[in-house]
Amino acid sequence: MTDQTTFQMPADARERAELFRRRYDAVRQEIGKVIVGQGEVVDTVLRAFFAGGNVLLEGVPGLGKTMLVRTLADAMHLDFARIQFTPDLMPADIVGTTIVSEDPATGRRALTFQKGPIFANIVLADEVNRATPKTQSALLEAMQEHSVTVGGVTRRVNEPFLVIATQNPIDMEGTYPLPEAQLDRFLVKVIVRYATREEMNEVLARTTRGEQPQPSKIMEADEVLAWRRFVRDVALAPHVADYASRLVLASHPDDKTAPESVRKYVRFGSSPRGAQGLILLAKVRALLEGRYNVSFRDVSLEAPSVMRHRLIRNFEAEADRVEGDQIVTDIVAAVPQQDLLAKG
């Protein structure tokens, strides 16, 4: 990555919001040069990126998940590292390790820390559920704390930092389920589906004739960090924040507001990180729709991607083939936007 330049943020909030939309659209356009279709997938990944949260992409091999992540890193002009998760991958292969190095001038030996790929800005954990749970857990500290501890020494990762993991459906051969603690550290889980016939034809046209298009560099690291700070400044009314809290509470089977499907099919509901994710993504959505305040609609539209992986379903849900998205839909339908039980 080249030397960073100082990004100048406009003083007026409305001008900042308008500039953010233009810059977002510019990045979206560059990604569209490479990625065909998958509009909702791209937009969800970008909203999570500017909200500062990690992303989990689920889909069968060959749908362009890896290409999407690489293209995002290119358009953002950020350091990119890909980690191919395999059953024999070790935690040290991710975070790095301490090695003995020798000074060629003096011949003296010393312990030196050799950084792993986790120290890039955008880290692609490719097929993350093909590694063992021990190796998967090596990502946890970096994903949450943006730091890595090796040999008792804590080192900060490079900012901006983002982990985008891809995983194959759990019923495919050679996969391990992700630990619940790791799933919770992904701001969103995005389902990548098959292309349509028209999209497939466009993919063939782009990839089998001539040179493939390359995205232009749109942003630098300092601008990305500035926009992440700006997103957090978007106005949030207390009653809208309370709506996000009530959505999360209704995902718990023992809560009095939980719908029937939650009581029947859910073992554990969303953590408080789910409410945080709803708010942060809703703030990005509000900016993209030309508003500097979050609405109920912004929050409800983000519920599927934020909550689907945070619902721990029981065996009955598996037997009845009830997916998380269906349960999230029931939660949104059951929770009124205005708290009808509020007193006073």
* CATH code for position 145: 3.40.50.300
**244 and 229, same structural domain?**
no
Structure tokens at 337: 């936007």
Give the pLDDT of residue 3: 44
Give the pLDDT of residue 340: 56
**23 and 70, same structural domain?**
yes
pLDDT at 221 over 60: yes
Q: Is 103 domain-assigned?
A: no
> Cα separation of 187 and 170, whole Å?
20
**79 and 155, same structural domain?**
yes
Give the pLDDT of residue 339: 67
**146 and 55, same structural domain?**
yes
pLDDT at 344 over 50: no
Higher-scoring residue by pLDDT: 260, 177: 260
Helix (H, G, I), strand (E, B) or coil at 210: coil
**255 and 141, same structural domain?**
no
| Residue 135 · residue 85 · CB < 8 Å | yes
Q: What are the φ and ψ backbone dihedral angles of 88, each rounded to 5 degrees?
A: -95, 5
**170 and 43, same structural domain?**
yes
Query: Which range has highest mean pLDDT (18-32, 140-154, 292-306)?
Result: 292-306
Alpha helices in the chain (DSSP H): 13-34, 39-51, 65-76, 92-95, 133-136, 140-145, 180-183, 197-207, 221-232, 238-249, 260-265, 272-288, 296-307, 315-320, 324-334
Of the candidate ranges 26-30, 38-42, 328-332, the one whose mean pLDDT is the lowest: 38-42
> Cα separation of 261 and 265, whole Å?
6
Structural domain that includes position 325: 234-336
**186 and 262, same structural domain?**
no
Mean model confidence pLDDT for the chain: 85
Q: Is 101 domain-assigned?
A: no
Structure tokens at 8: 């100048």
**323 and 291, same structural domain?**
yes
Q: What mean pLDDT is predicted for residues 69-97?
A: 87
